[in-house]
């Protein structure tokens, strides 16, 4: 049997969850929508119905994080790992952002386990919230996603008017429902309202991306320098699309030293920057078209070759936030249709 | 030659954290050329040396805490138990800081990473080593490895060159290999000086002159990209097939374990699926950015 | 001329520039893939120029692309863009003979975030935005709302001193005189000046904690054309590559110092920032300081010498002997 909760009770629910977890919910700071710690603030984010500028991936792979600290004494160096992470609950994650976490899990688990990301991932519960009013830059439906349903969260909430329908997706979700108050049994009409809301939301996603044979088409156009130069000429090589993309994970490692103590940090990096691949004597991606080609092919060709999933969840942030309105769906639609034998 | 099983290396992680370096001490410093130094190092925890498994051609990520981390190949052979070495050329802030270290200094070490040379493919073959400048460092590990198991391999030709006599690395090894009757050691320089009495010429040219036979042979080349680009056609002319040519590629690396994304060539990561590749694999690369 | 007529004239001129081989590239604005957005159009193909538009959403400073393109460029320039082009010519980064400046007199560009705040909806939910004289009509949910245009123009447009390019090869429409409203433009910055030093420091700490070091502010700026930016230096390392708020703040301060005398207050840095950091509050401060101390405004006169990289044998001030 499904449960439901009244929108008026969400604040109380979050307060109750806050006793066991560190709860993160969508919030707005200086006009920028992001995820921040819930401390009894207003729950007006429930009226937003669309995704945030800063994706909740920032809770698992922060802007910068300490890997370990070191200090030197007469015995030599001592290295200390940071304290273990708290249990977190991300409330209100959208299906595109949840799928994105599943996509980047594959990299962090592959061959070597990345302790920082995986530790946080294990200790984070996801409560999904469906988008009933997606942006015109969203194209999640082209990548096999629905704006209102997700198999990558622990609990999924669907807006049915004054209430949310709650569905458990994982065992952790079932356990969470069992210990939560404010929930009521959902009726058949609630479920049909939810299905109607889902249908309407999916029809609002109008931007399309044709993913048929996409990897093959990119492979056959890989050496077409004219195409890549034309497509990249207005890109300004900033890092906005990559640093805000929920499926991008590239990072830089650097040290900070203050007198005899310091730390090693991991921070976001971008393949759009020229220095990303710079070596002392040469730089294989000096030209801008090579970097643009790398970004597009990595997401839609190389990542599927290694992990059988396109490294994109159609959240549309790259299109919405690009200062020159560079549009990945237009670029991929303009790929020459030749497929080499 | 992608990495499939690294279970033996998992035992070697510090506190199960793949990014946490081991502490190693510098035991000896040798000046190879005006801008290149070889460091002999050993683990601070002496017991770790017993467990440390590595193959020729693998690299480590060496840290100077407070400045950063960079990858360098392990230039000593795994058969030589008494030493671990790496060779550094001074080009930037970290390498300059490494050159300022003295014996007894403590640095960080993570590794071994990379796929290493495929020794099984070299057994019972004639080996042709072609190296330029500091490119001799990864090959040196392999050469000593081969010499220490000499009867497993057939003829050995080593063709090594540098910009000038002062830029020749591992001069002490060159002398030893020259004395070894079972090795054909050819040293050359791009430009001689007043005291140089040996060969003068670029490595690919000298390779063509020496003309080692491709019959039952494998060529292993390592050096600056421009030298490699001219070496492969010469080897092809001498009859080597793409499967008979091996090289190690160099790219900017940070994590060394295929996570940070920057060393990729198509869907392969040079740090994890390389840095050793055959020319047959390189020809199949999706991208020419290496 | 109406907007339509001006657009047609622009397309005809651009086409003839390409056909007569006077230029290799045309750089202008085309409709973006999102509502109320434009995107730069950089093309060698004369059929593509039919996509050129003139509308109140052409905020980008196209002079940025001049330092990247090789060959002769026909560039669509509003007043502020022409100042950036002149500044680049003075810095010897762009050769005047290689640029054909197609001037577009500008009434100011509409700031979508201001409209979104007043309408209470985001731009993709708004049906239409049209400028009618000194009013902007916003159509949404079947109703219309009229807003005085001064409330929705960019802050830097409110202070505009050169709506019509002074340096041009062609002018597409009738010149528009400058009507700067310095007070309206400075409203946000004046609020900062009312704070105590301590409060200001806290303000900037809060703002720069959001900075993700995307470098969009640097990359949209036509005056930031260094091949190797100071943030990429490792010896010595001026700032960390870790986006700590202190380093983010120092990055902007040093960037503004490097741009002193060359910044034309085009406002692109603040518009490009994805996390709404009020960067113009810093760059306008520098711009005003330069105007006050040196009585110099960048990009106004093609024959003027650049401010901080020009030397005379004769000393200008009489307190030096």
- Considering the domain architecture, whether residues A226 and A193 belong to the same structural domain is answered as no
**Whether residue A24 is found in the same domain as residue A166:** yes
Q: Give C321→chain A minimum CA distance, Å.
A: 45
User: C56 to each of A180, A335, C111, C134, how far by Cα in Å?
Assistant: 52, 31, 9, 13
Sort out which chain C residues have CB atoms less than 8 A from A136's CB and list them: 34-35, 124
Cα–Cα distance, C279 to C283 (Å, whole number): 6
Q: Tell me if B257 is assigned to some domain.
A: no
Residues A151 and A218 in one domain: no
With cut-offs at 50, 70 and 90, classify the pLDDT of residue B61. very high
Shared domain check, A322 and A194:
no
**pLDDT value at position B117?**
94
B164 in contact with chain C, both atoms CB, cutoff 8 A: no
Identify whether the C-beta of residue A3 lies closer than 8 Å to the C-beta of residue A12.
no
CB contact under 8 A, C33 and A330: yes
- Chain B neighbors of A249, CB-CB under 8 A: 259, 261
Instruction: Answer whether residue A163 is part of any domain.
Output: yes
**Phi, psi at residue A228, to the nearest 5°?**
-70, -35
Assigned domain for A187 exists: yes
With CA atoms as reference, the chain C residue closest to B66 would be C240
Distance from the Cα of C227 to chain B's closest Cα (Å) equals 18
Together in a domain, A53 and A170? yes
- Tell me the mean pLDDT in the region A271-296: 93
Q: What is the residue extent of each domain of chain C? A: 3-109+153-294, 110-152
Name the CATH topology of C110-152. Answer: Nuclear Transport Factor 2; Chain: A, (3.10.450)
Same domain assignment for residues B156 and B104: no
CB–CB of C306/C260 below 8 Å?
A: no
* Total number of domains constituting chain B: 2
pLDDT tens track, chain C, 321 positions? 778 899 999 999 999 999 999 999 999 999 999 999 999 999 999 999 999 999 999 999 999 999 999 999 999 999 999 999 999 999 999 999 999 999 999 999 999 999 999 998 899 999 999 999 899 999 998 899 999 999 999 999 999 999 999 999 999 999 999 999 999 999 999 999 999 999 999 999 999 999 999 999 999 999 999 989 999 988 889 999 999 999 999 999 999 999 999 999 999 999 999 999 999 999 999 999 999 999 999 999 999 988 888 888 887 777 766
Determine contact: B104 vs chain A, CB below 8 A.
Answer: no
Are B137 and B45 members of one domain?
A: no
User: What is the span of the domain harbouring residue B207?
Assistant: 124-248
| Residue B176 contacts C, CB cutoff 8 Å | no
Chain C positions in Cβ-Cβ contact with residue B96 (cut-off 8 Å): 235
B93 interface with C at CB cutoff 8 Å: yes
Q: What percent of chain A has pLDDT over 70?
A: 99
Q: Are residues B138 and B62 in the same domain?
A: no
**Res C320: pLDDT:** 67
Same domain, A172 and A283: no
Whether B58 and B155 map to the same domain: the answer is no
Report pLDDT for C42: 96
Judge if B100 and B161 occupy the same domain: no
Task: Please indicate whether, in this complex, the C-beta atoms of B250 and A279 are within 8 angstroms of each other.
Answer: yes
- Residue in A with minimal Cα distance to C36: A325
Least confident of A40-54, A261-275, C233-247: A40-54
Q: What is the pLDDT of residue C289?
A: 94
| B162 and B129 fall within a common domain | yes
Verify that B141 and B239 share a domain, yes or no. yes
Q: For residue A166, tell me if it sits in a domain.
A: yes
Tell how far CA C140 is from the center of its chain.
29
Is B96 in the C-facing interface, judged by CB distances under 8 Å? yes
Report the domain count for chain A: 2
Q: Return the CATH number at B132.
A: 3.40.50.80
Question: Is B45 part of a structural domain of the chain?
Answer: yes
Chain A positions in Cβ-Cβ contact with residue B17 (cut-off 8 Å): 68, 81, 115
Q: Is B112 in CB contact (< 8 Å) with chain A?
A: no
- Could you tell me how far CA B25 lies from the centroid of its own chain? 21
Q: What is the mean pLDDT of chain B?
A: 91
With an 8 Å Cβ cutoff, the interface of chain C facing chain B consists of 234-235, 237
**CB distance C37–A325 less than 8 Å?**
yes
For chain B, counts of helices (H) and of strands (E): 10, 15
Same domain, B89 and B128: no
Q: Within this chain, do residues B30 and B95 fall inside the same structural domain, yes or no? A: yes
pLDDT at residue B1, as a whole number: 35
Calpha distance A155→A168 (Å, rounded): 5
Which pLDDT score, from 0 to 100, does residue B2 have? 41
Q: What percent of chain A has pLDDT over 90?
A: 78
pLDDT tens readout for residues A130-155: 998 899 999 999 999 999 999 999 99
Answer yes or no: do A158 and A238 share one domain. no
| Domain-ending residue, one of A180, A204, A228 | A204
Domain harbouring B88, CATH code: 2.40.30.10
Residue A341, in any domain of the structure:
no
Which chains have at least 3 CB atom pairs separated by less than 8 Å from chain B?
Answer: A, C
Predicted-assembly ipTM surpassing the 0.90 threshold:
yes
Q: Is residue A155 part of a domain?
A: yes
Q: Which domain holds residue A41?
A: 3-65+79-204
Do residues B47 and B134 share a domain? no
3-state secondary structure of A286: coil
Q: Is the pLDDT of residue A319 over 90?
A: yes
Q: Give the pLDDT score at A178.
A: 87
| Chain C CB within 8 Å of residue B262 CB | no
pLDDT tens-digit map of B172-210: 999 999 999 999 999 999 998 889 988 999 999 999 999
Q: Write the CB contacts of C21 (distance below 8 Å, at least 6 apart in sequence).
A: none
Q: What is the pTM of this model?
A: 0.93
Q: Are residues A30 and A150 in the same domain?
A: yes
| B130 in the same domain as B107 | no
- Verify that A140 and A234 share a domain, yes or no: no
Do A245 and A301 belong to one domain? yes
More confident residue, B103 or B49: B103
Inform me whether the C-beta atom of residue A82 falls under 8 Å from chain B C-beta atoms.
no
Q: Is the pLDDT of residue B3 over 70?
A: no
Question: What integer pLDDT is reported at residue A258 of this predicted model?
Answer: 86
Residue B88 shares a structural domain with residue B146: no
Same domain, A26 and A126: yes
Mean pLDDT of chain A, nearest integer: 92
Two tokens at C245? 């708020």
Indicate if A20 and A142 belong to the same structural domain. Answer: yes
């Amino acid at each position: 049997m499904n449960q439901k909760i009244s929108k008026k009770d969400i604040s109380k629910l979050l307060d109750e969850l806050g006793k066991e977890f560190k709860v993160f919910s969508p919030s707005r700071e200086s006009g920028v929508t992001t995820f921040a710690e819930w401390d009894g603030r207003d729950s007006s984010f429930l009226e937003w119905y669309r995704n945030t500028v800063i994706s909740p991936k920032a809770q698992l792979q922060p802007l910068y994080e300490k890997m370990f600290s070191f200090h030197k004494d007469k015995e030599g160096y001592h290295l200390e790992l940071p304290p273990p992470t708290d249990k977190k609950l991300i409330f209100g994650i959208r299906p595109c952002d949840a799928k994105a976490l599943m996509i980047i899990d594959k990299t962090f688990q592959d061959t070597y386990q990345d302790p920082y990301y995986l530790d946080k991932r294990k200790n984070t519960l996801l409560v999904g919230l469906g988008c009933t009013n997606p942006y015109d830059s969203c194209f999640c439906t082209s990548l096999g996603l629905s704006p209102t349903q997700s198999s990558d969260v622990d609990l999924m909430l669907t807006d049915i008017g004054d209430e949310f329908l709650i569905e458990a997706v994982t065992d952790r979700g079932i356990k969470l429902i069992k210990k939560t108050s404010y929930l009521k049994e959902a009726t058949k009409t609630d479920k049909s309202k939810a299905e109607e809301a889902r249908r309407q939301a999916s029809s609002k996603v109008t931007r399309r991306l044709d993913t048929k044979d996409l990897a093959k088409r990119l492979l056959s156009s890989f050496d077409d320098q004219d195409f890549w130069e034309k497509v990249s000429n207005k890109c300004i090589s900033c890092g906005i699309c990559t640093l805000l993309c929920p499926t991008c994970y590239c990072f830089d490692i650097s040290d900070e030293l203050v007198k005899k103590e310091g730390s090693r940090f991991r921070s976001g990096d971008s393949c759009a920057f020229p220095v990303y691949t710079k070596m002392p004597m040469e730089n294989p991606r000096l030209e801008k078209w090579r970097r643009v080609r790398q970004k597009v092919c990595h997401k839609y060709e190389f990542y599927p070759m290694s992990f059988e999933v396109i490294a994109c969840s159609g959240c549309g942030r790259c299109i919405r936030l690009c200062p020159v309105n560079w549009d990945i769906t237009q670029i991929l639609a303009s790929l020459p249709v030749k497929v080499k034998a | 030659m992608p990495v499939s099983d690294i279970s033996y290396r998992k035992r070697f992680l510090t506190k199960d954290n793949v990014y946490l370096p081991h502490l190693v001490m510098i035991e000896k410093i040798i000046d190879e050329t005006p801008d290149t130094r070889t460091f002999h190092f050993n683990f601070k925890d002496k017991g770790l040396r017993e467990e440390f498994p590595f193959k020729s051609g693998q690299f480590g990520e060496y840290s100077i805490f407070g400045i950063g981390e960079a990858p360098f190949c392990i230039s000593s052979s795994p058969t030589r138990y008494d030493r671990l070495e790496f060779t550094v050329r001074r080009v930037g802030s970290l390498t300059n800081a490494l050159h300022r270290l003295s014996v007894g200094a403590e640095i960080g070490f993570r590794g071994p990473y990379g796929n290493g040379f495929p020794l099984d493919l070299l057994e019972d073959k004639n080996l042709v080593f072609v190296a330029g400048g500091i490119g001799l460092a990864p090959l040196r590990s392999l050469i000593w490895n081969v010499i220490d198991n000499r009867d497993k391999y057939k003829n050995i030709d080593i063709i090594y060159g540098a910009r000038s006599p002062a830029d020749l690395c591992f001069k002490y090894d060159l002398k030893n290999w020259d004395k070894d009757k079972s090795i054909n050691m050819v040293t050359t320089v791009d430009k001689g000086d007043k005291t140089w009495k040996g060969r003068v010429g670029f490595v690919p040219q000298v390779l063509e002159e020496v003309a080692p036979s491709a019959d039952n042979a494998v060529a292993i080349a390592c050096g600056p990209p421009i030298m490699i680009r001219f070496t492969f056609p010469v080897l092809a002319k001498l009859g080597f097939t793409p499967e008979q040519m091996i090289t190690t590629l160099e790219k900017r690396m940070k994590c060394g374990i295929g996570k940070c994304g920057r060393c990729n060539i198509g869907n392969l990561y040079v740090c994890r699926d390389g840095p050793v590749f055959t020319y047959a694999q390189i020809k199949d690369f999706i991208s020419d950015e290496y | 001329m109406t907007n339509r007529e001006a657009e047609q004239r622009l397309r005809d001129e651009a086409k003839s520039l390409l056909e007569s081989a006077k230029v290799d590239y045309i750089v202008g604005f085309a409709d973006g893939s999102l509502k109320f957005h434009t995107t730069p159009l950089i093309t060698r193909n004369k059929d593509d120029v039919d996509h050129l538009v003139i509308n109140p959403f052409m905020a980008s400073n196209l002079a940025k692309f001049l330092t990247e393109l090789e060959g002769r460029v026909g560039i669509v320039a509003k007043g502020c863009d022409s100042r950036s082009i002149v500044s680049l010519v003075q810095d010897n980064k762009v050769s005047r003979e290689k640029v054909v400046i197609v001037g577009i007199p500008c009434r100011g560009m509409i700031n979508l975030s201001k409209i979104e705040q007043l309408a209470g909806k985001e731009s993709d939910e708004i049906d239409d935005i049209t400028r009618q004289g000194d009013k902007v009509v916003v159509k949404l949910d079947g109703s219309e709302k009229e807003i005085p245009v001064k409330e929705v123009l960019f802050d830097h447009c409110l202070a505009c001193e050169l709506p019509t390019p002074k340096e041009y090869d062609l002018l597409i429409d009738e010149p528009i005189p400058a009507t700067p409203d310095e007070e309206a433009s400075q409203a946000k910055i004046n609020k900062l000046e009312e704070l105590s030093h301590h409060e200001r420091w806290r303000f900037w700490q809060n703002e720069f904690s959001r900075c993700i070091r995307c470098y969009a502010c640097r990359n949209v700026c036509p005056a930031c054309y260094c091949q190797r930016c100071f943030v990429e230096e490792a010896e010595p390392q001026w700032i960390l590559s870790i986006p700590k708020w202190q380093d983010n703040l120092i990055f902007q301060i040093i960037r503004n110092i490097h741009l002193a005398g060359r910044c034309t207050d085009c406002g692109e840095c603040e518009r490009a920032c994805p996390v709404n950091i009020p960067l113009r509050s810093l760059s306008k401060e520098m711009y005003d300081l330069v105007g006050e101390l040196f009585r110099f405004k960048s990009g106004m006169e093609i024959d003027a010498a650049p401010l901080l990289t020009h030397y005379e044998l004769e000393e200008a001030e009489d307190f030096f002997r």
